[in-house]
Chain A
């Protein structure tokens, strides 16, 4: 699985968009980008995934650059409940494991 690099922490004002970057410069052509988050003391929660096109669901949007070497997770209107550690993972869709890095601790402030 390709290695990912994320900033260790970010702050965001409540109601604003939170943009979380992820670098994955060694991503392979058949590897997807997945995002998860872990709210304190809970199990990680799947947010969104994509291969090369931008994706949107009820939780977030995922923007993947054309060369696929980086991506951005966007929470359009962050709330206090979005405070969590966000993990960016790249892996082959049918691979057996996801390798979690250190993630980004997002703190949403009032």
Chain B
């Protein structure tokens, strides 16, 4: 049973399209995150939700809109895709109230914008 699952694993799309990436965790964690890893392999946080409430919103274009229907799901919708959005997007979850809990990451979604 995968703890943090993302779909799709690969996504190839044209510039200007709108696409969504889904994430689900079955760990009972309260907090979920979206990270972006670009071609230089730098991992950068984008968003964080705690129990469906947005708590972190880094400097991300407003074309990116996260949605958390419940604490087990955090989806990422991207409007008007640009070439620079090509990257691997990782979802993660954690249980911050418990001191020392690490993050559990999904296996990533490789987005290619052509």
B and A form one assembly: yes
- The DSSP consensus for interface residues of chain B is strand
Residues of chain A within 8 A (CB-CB) of B44 are 100
Q: Kindly supply a per-residue 1/0 record for chain B positions 78-109, scoring 1 wherever the CB is within 8 Å of any chain A CB and 0 otherwise.
A: 00000000000010100011011111111110
- B108 and A96 contacting across the interface, CB-CB below 8 Å: no
Q: Among the listed A94, A95, A96, A102, which residue makes an inter-chain contact with B42, where contact means beta carbons less than 8 Å apart?
A: A102
Q: Given the known A-B contacts A96-B50, A96-B96, are A42 and B108 also in contact in the complex, defined by CB atoms under 8 Å?
A: yes
CB of B45 within 8 Å of the partner chain: yes
CB of A81 within 8 Å of the partner chain: no
| Chain A residues within 8 Å of chain B by Cβ, number | 24
Q: Name the residue in B48, B55, B90, B103 with the highest tally of chain A Cβ atoms < 10 Å from its Cβ.
A: B103
The A/B interface has a contact count, at CB < 8 Å, of 57
- B100 and A49 contacting across the interface, CB-CB below 8 Å: yes
Closest-by-CB residue of A relative to B105 is A43
A79 to B48, CA, bound (A): 35
A43 to B3, CA, bound (A): 12
| Chain B residues within 8 Å of chain A by Cβ, number | 27
CB of A21 within 8 Å of the partner chain: no
- B90 and A95 contacting across the interface, CB-CB below 8 Å: no
Extra pairs beyond A43-B107, A49-B100 (14, CB < 8 Å): A32-B99, A36-B102, A36-B103, A43-B4, A46-B103, A46-B104, A47-B102, A51-B100, A94-B99, A95-B96, A97-B48, A99-B45, A100-B35, A100-B44
**In the assembled complex, how far is the CB of residue A26 from the closest CB belonging to chain B, in whole angstroms?**
20
Within residues 5 to 49 of chain B, which ones have a CB less than 8 A from any CB in chain A?
31, 33, 35, 41-45, 48
Q: Report A's interface with B, CB cutoff 8 A.
A: 32, 34, 36, 38, 41-47, 49, 51, 85, 87, 93-100, 102
Residues of chain A within 8 A (CB-CB) of B4 are 43
Residues of chain B within 8 A (CB-CB) of A51 are 100
A32 to B56, CA, bound (A): 20
- A98 and B45 contacting across the interface, CB-CB below 8 Å: yes
Q: Given the known A-B contacts A49-B100, A102-B42, are A97 and B107 also in contact in the complex, defined by CB atoms under 8 Å?
A: no
A50 to B78, CA, bound (A): 37
Q: Among the listed A34, A43, A45, A98, which residue makes an inter-chain contact with B108, where contact means beta carbons less than 8 Å apart?
A: A43
